[in-house]
Chain A
Amino acid sequence: MTTAPSSPTEAGHRHNTSALWPLQGLDVAAARAAGHQAVPFQQFVLKMHSRCNFACTYCYVYSGPDQSWRRRPRTAPAEVVAKTATRIADHAKTHMLSEVHLNVHGGEPLLTGAAAPIRYVTAVREAIDAAVGPGFCQVQATLQTNGSMLTEGVVTELADAGLKIGVSLDGGRARHNRHRVDHRGRPGWPAASRGLRVLARHPDAYGGILCTIDPSSNPIDVYESLLSFTPPSMDLLLPHTNWSSSPGRKTGIATPYGNWLADVFDHWFHAESPQTTIRLFTEIIGLLTGQESGTESVGSSPVVAVVVDTDGAIEQVDSLKTAYSGAPETGLNVFHHTFNEALDHPGIAARQIGTAALSDQCLSCPVVGICGGGNYAHRFDARNGFRNPSVHCADLERLIRHIADRLRPFLLKARLPRD
């Protein structure tokens, strides 16, 4: 969960959202004709529970402009689970997918315990096996939690069912997590840290840690404190802000997030042995060395994630909720529509056409091949939509150039032959 816009009205209630790119201006049929073919969904974010036992002061889901959670069922009912499983299986069969990723999400997906998420994942696995034959399509399942409900029993149940667990934190100490509180304002850290300690004893179930950056924190302290929970991977996320929800930066040349990340990069990169995988750094190194990105935060690879909410609505990812009320909506749901139909929604298509979705500013920038315009949600401006540089543009450039500088001596010293 990341920073909410300072004012919901600023973020999107004052304009006609249908006039915003890509809802207005992206001709999906023309894009298809130009060679931008739809890429099947391969990651299904399954909303298990629409409420959370935490009330983080910055949470964009509950405090942001999109309040759609209020009208959703608290938990995904059996008919939504069954229909979603069928739709995913149909999608896997239509496209003969050899791999599907399920990410059980919330709210807090463990508010109903481990059994309900396991039933959801099992339903999808069984439907896929029935559709394409057992073993043809590998299903990787994860669950993203605030950690507070993780007990030995819950972790063991999830591990036995083949789910890996990711935990969202702001750092590895109480003071880093001061904004993560429950509905009475009590700190969530004691329960989350207990849960993390349990998870650390189950490396087979441990997916990793997601940490949104607070530039006022000490980057090395945050990184080292997270390492104490021995995560196999982590990601350091730029907060979900945009041009219409000011991140509070004072000038255009300040790069607080880039500086913070550069400090962590140096600490991580110069370790005597690898301590953990950091997704953002891994992806930037990959892009700089000519590989394609596997994450939406950098690079121009087509995004293959789609959300199914607790009422069966087929939606775009939650981070768009920071833009304006209803921004993630597609108008589709699993009871009446296929995932193939969702692929032609302009918002989905915009994220699969690579640099064709970028602004002229981005296309003229020497860093665009690496940043790819940054996270789509961070490009939003209430005046024109999502065809802008990232609000974190300067920070991304700062970090990317820093990493390139750090790589240079190793790559030159290696005197590597070119393929």
Chain B
Amino acid sequence: MYGYSGRILHVDLTSRKTWAESKPEEWYKMYIGGVSMAARLCWENIEVGCDPLSSGNPICIGGGIFAGTPVPVGGKHGLASKSPLTDFLGDSLSGSWFSVALKRAGWDGIVVHGASDDWVHVSVDDDHVEFHDASHLLGLGTFETEEAIREELSDDQIRSSTIGKAGENLVRFANVTNDGRQAGRTGHGAVWGSKKLKSLSVRGTHDVGVAHPDELLKLCYDIVQAAQGKHTEKYRVLGTVSNVLNLNRMGLLPTRNFQQGTFEDAELVSGEYLHEHHKVKTIACAQCPIACEQMSRVTDGPYAGAMTGIEYESLFAVSSNCGVGDMKAAIKAIDICDEDGMDAMSTGVTIGWAMETFERGVFTKEDFTCEKYPEGFEANFGNGEALVTMAEMIRDREGIGDLLAEGTKRASAQVDAERGAETYKWAMHIKGLECPGYDARGLKTFALGASVVTRGACHNRTAAYDVDVKGWVDRLSIDESRGKLAKETEEYAAVYDTLPLCKFIRRCFTGKADREGAWPAIAQLINATTGWEFDYDAVDLIGERAHTIKKAFNIREGWTRADDHLPYRWQHETMKEGASAGSVVTEEELEYMKDLYYEAKGWTKEGLIPKGKLVALGMEDVAEEIGA
């Protein structure tokens, strides 16, 4: 078999045993890699119904089909576990040299079972797996931990995935970090922390064999040339933060916990401002010729020295969403999140909820006492120092940070129960995962797409906002096309998340980003790597199968139609200003669109997957367990 080793590594932290599992080639043709392979490994290895922070929840890593090959932006891997935020599947991607090392070590994926009694870090050196005491690493940040392991193992080429203080403290939206990149969102860091796993390191020395190396090199040369040209210039020069002003103009930039869609200080937290005042350089993931991450630094004032890569999603969450127009405070808050392994989106949105709860009088200054501010502080919107301090308190679970570390859904439920409040009305999450930086009231197709995403509120797993913002449909109204569009855009995204390839390469195959422009080229890459004979339809099926295994996992964990919801605010409060003023997604609109979506997917009206549908996808064992 080319492109794969045919082996999955299993590591049991409880017994400290390891073993190799062989997988047949047909299994790889079904699940490929990335989030799809990781989700399938979760399906096969989890104790159904387990607490996400228990030993029954496995850590599943799915390598990339193109990792270690010349294919640009293919140095990525998928990471999946049951999410401590959503209690459904949590799947993330990360671009890093870890993926390449995994492939070169001769493993297509890793499953970590059980839990350790004592803090441990695990190293994989080709076939040799070793368990190391990690007590000396506790309290170190993610980057420091990577450096410490390189030093400890006397190997500057070993690649580590690590957790920081947030993961150690079981912050439910803690990340796993590798090479400065984050496997973010659904709380993988807390899962690792619950197992007392500080780090997983890999060193690989094998070659990566491909079926047709000359053909693959030629294909890749052309794509790399395109990837360094106009198609990706936006990402390279300004990065994703260029979204700030675009979304502000459309009245879609989440502001003050999604109360508004325009921010009066948008220019001060824009990509343009960042580029002019704070950018140091652009950096790239493994195998990436695009380089989109804007490494930015604060050089003066109270946050001098803060430096990290800035993306739109992390930036909106800690700036406009918290009413903060101080870019320096925003960089500092994101730096804390990255260094200590915490999802900046969930951190910012949770802090936004806390700020609104303070402004509405449910929280008072006394709720915000901490070592730094023994008398408490005013946690109002626009207070950059409050933003930074709350990020630190969440990381350390200090004071009210212990509540906020539970995430918006759990924090609001607890406050409402204890204080007789209704903070759920401004708790901005779907399935427990905090919302991304697009106000879905003004993006009706995205509203549907976001409500049905298997991992909760996410812009990456549904590309449905694409058809809204480009004007292919009227973004402020609904029609019968939206179910099919939501299906097509989520499965389009799932193809990239499964290979995995970064979506920013999508125009670089032929100049066209749609299926017709990309799928034939992706089929050529797959075939040159593996020797398979994939075509357009086979590539398209990658996305449908990937989404189906994730959905099947959720169904087995108890998902019902009611779990495909939107935040209360998006359904009950119309936008009051800006270009999306007057917009809201009514209950009737959402339920109608969900009907359309389930029908387009070939599912039942209750959103369950018929047995015949699963069998047609080659997923007979899944059909046996959850088929309707």
A is bound by B: no
Q: Interface on A for B, CB 8 Å cutoff?
A: none
Q: Interface on B for A, CB 8 Å cutoff?
A: none
